[in-house]
Chains A and B, each alone.
Chain A
């Protein structure tokens, strides 16, 4: 059941009405049932994985709270992290490890036939395992008491608005809200929730899906394309994944809001960052914070000298890259970004500039770096294809680029991108809810325009979200 489907809108409407009609103390039951139903609509058998992950962390954390022996607590935490990562590695990285083994052994002329598994990647596994690991670590650090109510804890792990593709929520925030649900729905929350959902839907079906059609057209036959077309396709792919993933996050936050829950912000117009370090504080924010709190700081952060600081940065950003996917292309992307972060540190790249000229120049430069170092590795399917795309773009003929842009200048994707830019940068000033502070005629004009553009330009085939594969 995709967020951009009528089935989901009907499901959400029914659940929201039932939620507010149900007695406060029983609401968790309704939400837990709805969450499991939602997840099982993808692949029923994989609910077992969520139940395993839930049970491991529930019981381990009860043990961690009860035990005063530091060594035993460490072992308990180790088991929890090991089992959760084990699930993730098995389902997400098993085939990649086989490929790595095959490639490595073939370097020594040793023949090895990879034993590839034909498991489908369970949707959302990268998100909910990170969520449960953070819970175990917080309990271990005594920053949070273990949740004693199994049902409510199970709801924290499987809360349907953010189960499939985040935001990755911490137990402190979400479990607290599950334990103390809001009494009544506030009008402003309903309005904000609907606005976020509408905006997320627009980004997905108008911008992302239309940009995808053009980007796929060029990338699916990249061997027959010129550098100009491929650069244009890469730009569109950058827009596609931003609109797709931030659209999903907006819809998730909006969905939670209509039931009185507040989820974390996950995107802050990331392409307007002035450095790669800043980009990672504005793109998939909850993942960056997770890595900071549970990888970077435990490794020592910046506390043990320059060399170790750089090593810690490299490891953290390398993990951020390969978290996204299991292939050599993601490894390349991870190395690119980890290296860029280190270069920025060494060059002491200054804080964001306020001077309009320098600000614009830095935004354009940074966006170009992101296009080259992130989008091409992510969009191409293997290293030879990636290298070939780089080669073609390096020998770019500007006329080819002009021709590619001119061909699609009035496409649905372009109209969508313009509306996206006007909305996020000029009207809403980086926060879509800013629309609601504008005069009513602007709110009405914007909402009706967004709905009409969805009706006219929206891809009605219900394409899945790009980030589901992560």
Chain B
């Protein structure tokens, strides 16, 4: 085969690939924007398109399952996501600010003390990948994704890639007529079961592995400053908290002291509930595992949190 023919065929193949990639990408964009069901970030879309609140809670599973926003009143919302930590949360807050959807009064951010010791590797920065739809429209998302390596810029030349890992459900769930609703206030309780005590015992072993890296992740401090500046622009109060554990990891203290100091320096309120005596939470029957309260424990914790916030104000 001549070089001319090989070149011609390669060009045709690449042109076809680009064309089909664009078509699939545009189709997925439309599906993404229309989705308000509780999958593929539909709850974020739903909030941006249809909701507004006074008080907003952002965090990981330790907010999703532990803070019952309805206790704060009908204008409160829990927009937490399980297994998504500080960089993801910062991105979400930035996306909300971009869409003029920050809460009107109070933003409560749960910051995991142990996040401070995490490197910007798989456990933190790659969590932002599930927001890759916003790669071209949000600078924070773009910068986190680009931090993962030079190759990311190349991958995002593909339109379809913006929907990597979350795009499939945009097709399959409507096919099955599946549209789980995001709970009205975003809170998902963990119902107590017979397995709770066994799970708690297991997590007390799993969660207590020593932390080798004791250096702080500077990017997290930068994130807090960024969130504060977004809140200041809109005159919104920012409160940083860290939810309680059944038993604290020995490395918590170092992180807690550092966060206290830092928050004081930049004039942000910080409450570390890991070191608060919360009546009722010493009872292991109120826990799902070492880091999550069950439905009963969450009610106790949320009421305590509400009282604390009222006391501050």
A residues at B contact (CB < 8 Å): 5-7, 187, 223-224, 410-412, 415, 444, 447-448, 451-452, 455-461
Contacts and interface: CB of A to CB of B under 8 A. Distances in A.
B250 interface: no
Contact of B168 (A5, A6, A456): A456
B222 interface: no
Contacts of A448: 16-17, 20
B161 A6 contact: no
B302 interface: no
B126 A461 contact: yes
A390 B34 CA distance: 45
Contacts of A411: 168
Interface string B58-86: 00000000000000000000000000000
B24 A452 contact: yes
A412 B195 contact: no
Nearest to A188: B1
21 contacts: A6-B154, A6-B155, A7-B149, A187-B1, A223-B202, A224-B198, A410-B175, A412-B168, A415-B168, A448-B17, A452-B20, A452-B21, A452-B24, A452-B160, A455-B158, A455-B160, A456-B164, A457-B168, A458-B164, A460-B155, A461-B122
Is the interface on chain B under 10, 10 to 19, 20 to 34, or 35 or more residues? 20 to 34
Contact of A410 (B6, B151, B169, B199): B169
B310 interface: no
A452 B167 CA distance: 12
A457 B166 CA distance: 8
Contact of B149 (A6, A451, A458): A6
Given A410-B169, A412-B165, 6 more contacts: A6-B151, A224-B198, A412-B168, A448-B16, A455-B161, A456-B161
Contacts of B175: 410
Q: Is the interface of B mostly helix, strand, loop or mixed?
A: helix
A410 B171 CA distance: 10
Contacts of A460: 129, 155, 164-165
B276 interface: no
A456 B151 contact: no
Contacts of A6: 149-151, 154-155
B257 to A, nearest CB: 32
B208 interface: no
B21 A455 contact: yes
B228 interface: no
Contacts of B169: 410
B275 interface: no
B168 A444 contact: no
A410 B149 CA distance: 31
Contacts of A223: 198, 202
Nearest to A458: B164
Contacts of A459: 165
A415 B13 CA distance: 24
B176 interface: yes
B87 interface: no
Contacts of A444: 13, 16
A5 B151 contact: yes
Given A187-B6, A224-B199, A410-B172, A455 B17 contact: no
A456 B20 CA distance: 13
B160 A447 contact: no
Given A444-B16, A448-B16, A410 B165 contact: no
Interface in B228-242: none
Contacts of A187: 1, 6
Nearest to A443: B13
Interface in B152-184: 154-155, 158, 160-161, 163-165, 167-169, 172-173, 175-176
A462 to B, nearest CB: 9
Q: Which of B164, B167, B199 has the most CB of A within 10 A?
A: B164
Given A412-B165, A415-B168, A456 B155 contact: no
B256 to A, nearest CB: 29
What 9 pairs between A and B have smallest CB-CB spacing?
A: A6-B151, A410-B172, A455-B160, A455-B161, A456-B167, A455-B158, A187-B1, A456-B160, A448-B17
Q: Which of B6, B172, B195 has the most CB of A within 10 A?
A: B172
Given A7-B151, A223-B198, A444-B13, A410 B164 contact: no
Interface string B13-54: 100110011001000000000000000000000000000000
B149 A456 contact: no
Interface string B190-227: 00000100110010000000000000000000000000
Nearest to A457: B168
B6 A447 contact: no
Contacts of A415: 168
A366 B122 CA distance: 38
Contacts of A224: 195, 198-199
Contacts of B199: 224
Contacts of B1: 187
A456 B163 contact: yes
Q: Which of B122, B126, B161 has the most CB of A within 10 A?
A: B161
Contacts of A447: 13
A410 B155 CA distance: 25
A389 to B, nearest CB: 16
